[in-house]
Amino acid sequence: MKPYDYHVFVCTCPTCSKKEAESILLAFRQKVEKRGLLDKVKVTRTGCLSSGECMYGPLVVVYPQGVWYRLVTANEVDEIVEKHLAGGQLVSKLLHFKLS
């Protein structure tokens, strides 16, 4: 396995999927590929990421940094990919929690 910079987990639990979880997952996969980041970024579907927190979902968590985003829509995936995954900066307006 080769080193990578980011592992993005997209919650597709029933609560998050009632909103746009599936579109968000697809958008991440498409944008990461389009932006040429496949070697640096993994994108993975998950079951419920955090019991009790998905009311704020759809939730997305980026490791190893431990950055949780909430209320993500497919339209905002571009910004997370461009600013965070390509540029290394948090998207503050979508921040839910950051592991210290």
Binding site for a second copy (CB under 8 A): 1, 3-4, 7, 9, 42, 44-50, 53, 61, 63-66, 68, 96-97, 99-100
Q: Nearest 5°: phi and psi at 48?
A: -55, 120
Cβ proximity to a second copy: between 4 and 75 the closer is 4
Q: Least Å distance between CB 82 and a second copy?
A: 23
Cβ proximity to a second copy: between 14 and 75 the closer is 14
Token pair listed for 71: 């209320």
The residue type of 75 is N
